[in-house]
Amino acid sequence: MRELPASSDVVLEGPGLHSGRPARVTLRASAGPLVVRAGGHEAEVSALTVVSTRWATTVAAPGGAFRLQTVEHAFAALGGLGLRTDLAIEVEGPEMPLLDGGAAAWCAALEGLRRPVSRPRLRVAHEGTVAIGSSRYEFSPGGGVDVRVRFETGDPRLAPDARWTGDPDDFRVRIAPARTFALARDLAEIDRLGLARHADPAAVVVITPDAIRCRRPFEADEPARHKLLDLVGDLYLHGGPPRGSVAATRPGHTATLQAITRAIAEGILVASASD
């Protein structure tokens, strides 16, 4: 991360996880709704549409004005810190940079801008469960944010559970540093698609039956915490993470999108224009 000395702007640069192409993101204090600018166009985050969930979350602006891949880590930082207004995110490149593999660098950059914190628009209106294949999402009303993940792999080296109860400092310190990871069963498909070939080894964890390969110390619940991080980022796109409880078993980008869509359609999740 590089901070510009004569400005309140913060610039982050690096290759994208999947494309490997260079990306440059400028975070800029800006009054009004939180907006994303790319390719000469601007869109409010609330107007972005998820157009792909294969190995990452890709969004598009209205009318297809731009597409932006792998937004979940940046949006997790926004959701974790409670930032929903007064910020412009200007992106050069087709994909958000990988940076540290989690959301810690995003959190550090955003905190430096001292943007106002606000409550989420989304809330859990009533109890409900949505099953998407082997994934399960349980919703319960409540006054605060409570996000739980159960990451079931059957691997005794990995702790399956992670939880975050809405505290920004806890998100920054404990959840944001959790790095992206790949399981051995996914490596052949990732390689076939030509993904993640330019990823910084310090920013990823590779988990095989014989070893856990990483450049920095690894904790048993780090994959579960990263799954929680991704879930917060995906929920942010819909006005969340919501007030209330979300407990996700075997979450993934595709399942999360389908579960949120169904939960909104069934009135389990509701959004208000302001609160």
Please give, one letter per residue, the 3-state secondary structure of the chain.
Answer: CEECCCCCCEEEEEEECCCCCEEEEEEEEEEEECEEEECCEEEEHHHCEEEECCCCCEEECHHHCCEEECCHHHHHHHHHHCECEEEEEEEECCECECCCCCCHHHHHHHHHHCCCECCCCEEECCCEEEEECCEEEEEECCCCEEEEEECCCCCCCCCCEEEECCCHHHHHHHHCCCCEEEEHHHHHHHHHCCCCCCCCHHHEEEECCCCEECCCCCCCCHHHHHHHHHHHHHHHCCCCCCEEEEEEECCCHHHHHHHHHHHHHCCCEEECCCC
pLDDT tens-place string over residues 233-250: 999 999 999 999 999 999
The pLDDT assigned to 272 comes to 78
pLDDT tens-place string over residues 138-163: 999 999 999 999 999 989 999 999 99
CATH architecture label of 122-271: 2-Layer Sandwich (3.30)
The C-alpha atoms of residue 58 and residue 49 are separated, in whole angstroms, by 8
The pLDDT assigned to 189 comes to 67
The pLDDT assigned to 16 comes to 85
The C-alpha atoms of residue 144 and residue 259 are separated, in whole angstroms, by 20
95 CB-contact burial (10 Å; exposed 0-12 / middle 13-18 / buried 19+): buried
Sign of CA dihedral 99, 103, 108, 113: positive
The pLDDT assigned to 55 comes to 84
- β-bridge partners, 10: 3, 27
The pLDDT assigned to 4 comes to 35
Measured over all CA atoms, what is the biggest interatomic distance in the chain, rounded to whole angstroms?
A: 51
The C-alpha atoms of residue 140 and residue 238 are separated, in whole angstroms, by 17
The C-alpha atoms of residue 94 and residue 92 are separated, in whole angstroms, by 7
Neighbours of 117 (CB within 10 A): 10
Give pTM, 2 decimals: 0.92
Would you identify the CATH topology of the domain 2-113? Ribosomal Protein S5; domain 2 (3.30.230)
The pLDDT assigned to 248 comes to 98
Instruction: Judge contact between 101 and 203, C-beta under 8 A.
Output: yes
The pLDDT assigned to 200 comes to 73
Residue ranges per domain, the chain? 2-113, 122-271
Instruction: Judge contact between 25 and 96, C-beta under 8 A.
Output: yes
Cis peptide bond N-terminal to 241, omega within 30? yes
Residues in the chain with pLDDT values less than 50: 1-7, 275
The C-alpha atoms of residue 248 and residue 98 are separated, in whole angstroms, by 25
